[in-house]
């Protein structure tokens, strides 16, 4: 079982999709869905159950199912929220309680921190996890302060040698953008905000700069595509030995002008950007520059490249925002002409367009079997790992090992066929090669069926899969080797004739054993 708090939210729902794609099962969502369309974020996910946050600890304590990890993505993320008590309850007290439970029960915890902890960036953007370094940070709002408060609590627990989950990772997300954020209202990314403005026929609107060092639209942020964020979390999940506090950003600051321009181009529009004054209620706490330092994440072993801003925005617009359904892609034509000719038309009908969209529905994912639903979908290394994983159910381990050995013996049999062909290609006296062809078909089909039965017995655990498959292979190899030796090295050797004699003697011996048959005298 894997628990994702905030699983119906922006990053949480994308994480669920990533976990599902990698074959994870028994996914539990902890979230409040409310009265809006937030539920749509998880409507296509295979969710085991949905738990309200206030019931999560009781659920974790009462469940008998083993819990592999908790991804804590839930929080009050609105930087404009003024109810500090509410923020503290959700962003500090709750994760403290969750940390204690994970530490006491040996469950891994990966949680969301925030780049908002860095404040105006005057102290840099180093994801130093020491108590002193975290204590020096000065967030600009209650949200950032609450996240930093929990990071500090973790640092103090580590320094004091307190209880710690077997793996823990705090992730300082920078400016994340991508699908499933429509429910966030005023907290949506600027990419989505600009897209809506362009679709409404207006310009992309950005805040003016009120800082002498930055021109209008020149404010710099570290924008990161949400799939990159998910990839980092899945990478951590696959490496339980890695713990720590990590920045999750591209390490490359880009301007809001770059972002708005990318949205315009992805929408098939020329750059059309307008500026408005930054609202007074956020002007004082506005971040003009953020840029993740990614050295600690890279040192921990993460090597994947982050998506360039233009590429990420183009995917966001064309694959998600330009269609009402993410399962529909848009084939977009720009600046062209459509001509409709017909014998009934006096003149061709001509349509000149600046943009023409052709929606193309994608097949339902349910039409395909997810990779891993059957052992046939797994590679040999994956079968070996599953078959030797002590956490896997014995039935699945046996089935995986049986399939592993079945594939190997079937492949190894191919190396025996040339010797078998030579042996069966020499007919016995007063016979033709047709007998050899017939016998080869009988032998190969029979051996294949024996392998299939052996695989079934191995899967059921009645026989060790190794002996079930390699035992018949050893006997078949010995038979083929003997036949080849007879025809290749024995003068006048005829393996088919020898087989006939063997089978004749075996048949006579069997007939003598039947009831009512009198044994021949010696």
Residues marked active site are found at 143, 184
Nearest to 283 by CA among 363, 211, 193, 341: 211
Nearest to 424 by CA among 432, 264, 131, 454: 432
Residue 71 to residue 69: CA distance in whole angstroms: 7
Residue 471 to residue 441: CA distance in whole angstroms: 21
Residue 13 to residue 46: CA distance in whole angstroms: 11
Residue 3 to residue 53: CA distance in whole angstroms: 11
- Give the up-direction half-sphere exposure of residue 436: CA atoms within 13 A in the CB hemisphere: 22
Phi, psi values for residue 342, rounded to 5°: -155, 145
Nearest to 10 by CA among 145, 183, 142, 131: 183
- Bridge partners of residue 71, in order along the sequence: 4, 110
The structure tokens 């940070």 sit at: 137
The three-state secondary structure class of 175 is: strand
DSSP letters, 208-271, are PP-STTS-TT--EE-EEEHHHHHHHHHHHHT-TT--EEEEES-S--EEHHHHHHHHHHHTT---
Residue 516 to residue 497: CA distance in whole angstroms: 31
Nearest to 164 by CA among 175, 172, 156, 176: 156
Q: At what angle do helices 465-489 and 433-460 cross, to 10 degrees?
A: 160
Residue 297 to residue 248: CA distance in whole angstroms: 8
- Which residues are CB-neighbours of 49 under 8 A, at least 6 positions away? 28, 29
Task: Tell me the C-alpha to C-alpha distance, in Å, between residue 44 and each of 50, 73, 106, 244, 522.
Answer: 14, 19, 31, 32, 79
Nearest to 14 by CA among 226, 174, 329, 293: 226
Residue 455 to residue 460: CA distance in whole angstroms: 9
> Phi-psi bin for 83: left (phi > 0), alpha (psi -120 to 50), beta?
beta
Displacement of CA 106 from its chain's centroid (Å): 24
């Amino acid at each position: 079982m894997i628990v994702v708090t905030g699983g119906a939210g922006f990053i949480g729902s994308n994480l669920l999709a990533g976990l599902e794609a990698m074959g994870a099962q028994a996914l539990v969502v902890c979230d409040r869905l409310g009265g809006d369309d937030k539920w749509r974020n998880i409507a296509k996910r295979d969710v085991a159950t949905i738990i309200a946050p206030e019931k999560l600890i009781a659920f974790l304590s009462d469940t008998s199912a083993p819990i592999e990890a908790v991804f804590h993505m839930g929080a009050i993320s609105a930087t404009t929220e003024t109810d500090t008590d509410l923020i503290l309850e959700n962003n500090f007290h709750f994760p403290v309680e969750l940390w204690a439970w994970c530490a006491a029960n040996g469950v891994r915890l990966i949680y969301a921190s925030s780049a908002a902890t860095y404040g105006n960036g005057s102290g840099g953007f180093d994801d130093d996890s020491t108590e002193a370094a975290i204590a020096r940070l000065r967030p600009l709002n209650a949200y950032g302060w609450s996240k930093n408060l929990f990071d500090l609590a973790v640092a103090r627990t580590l320094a004091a040698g307190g209880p710690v989950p077997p793996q823990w990772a705090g992730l300082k997300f920078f400016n994340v953008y991508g699908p499933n954020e429509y429910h966030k209202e005023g907290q949506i990314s600027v990419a989505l905000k600009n897209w809506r403005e362009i679709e409404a026929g207006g310009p992309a609107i950005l805040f003016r700069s009120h800082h002498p060092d930055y021109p209008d639209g020149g404010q710099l942020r570290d924008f990161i595509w949400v799939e990159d964020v998910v990839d980092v979390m899945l990478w951590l999940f696959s490496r339980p030995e890695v713990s720590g506090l990590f920045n999750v950003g591209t390490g490359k600051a880009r301007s809001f002008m770059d972002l708005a321009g990318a949205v315009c181009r992805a929408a098939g529009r020329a750059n059309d950007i307008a500026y408005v004054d930054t609202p007074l209620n956020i002007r004082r706490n506005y971040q003009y520059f953020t840029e993740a330092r990614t050295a600690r994440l890279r040192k921990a072993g993460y090597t994947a490249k982050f998506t360039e801003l233009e590429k990420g925005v183009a995917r966001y617009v064309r694959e998600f925002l330009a269609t009402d359904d993410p399962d529909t892609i848009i084939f977009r034509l720009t600046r062209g002409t459509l001509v409709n000719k017909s014998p009934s038309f006096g003149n061709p009908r001509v349509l000149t367009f600046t943009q023409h969209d052709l929606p193309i529905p994608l097949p339902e994912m349910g039409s395909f079997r997810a990779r891993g639903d059957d052992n046939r979908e797994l590679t040999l290394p994956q079968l070996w790992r599953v078959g030797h994983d002590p956490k896997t159910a014995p039935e699945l381990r046996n089935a995986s090992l049986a399939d592993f050995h079945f594939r190997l013996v079937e492949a190894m049999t191919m190396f025996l066929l040339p010797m078998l062909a030579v042996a069966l290609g020499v007919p016995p006296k007063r016979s033709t090669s047709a007998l050899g062809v017939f016998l080869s078909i009988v032998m190969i089909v029979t051996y294949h069926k024996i392998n299939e039965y052996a695989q079934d017995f191995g899967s059921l655990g009645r026989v060790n899969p190794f002996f079930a498959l390699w035992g018949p292979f050893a006997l078949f190899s010995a038979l083929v080797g003997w036949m080849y030796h007879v025809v290749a090295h024995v003068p006048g050797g005829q393996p088919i004739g020898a087989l006939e004699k063997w089978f004749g003697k075996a048949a006579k011996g069997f007939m003598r054993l039947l009831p009512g048959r009198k044994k021949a005298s010696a």
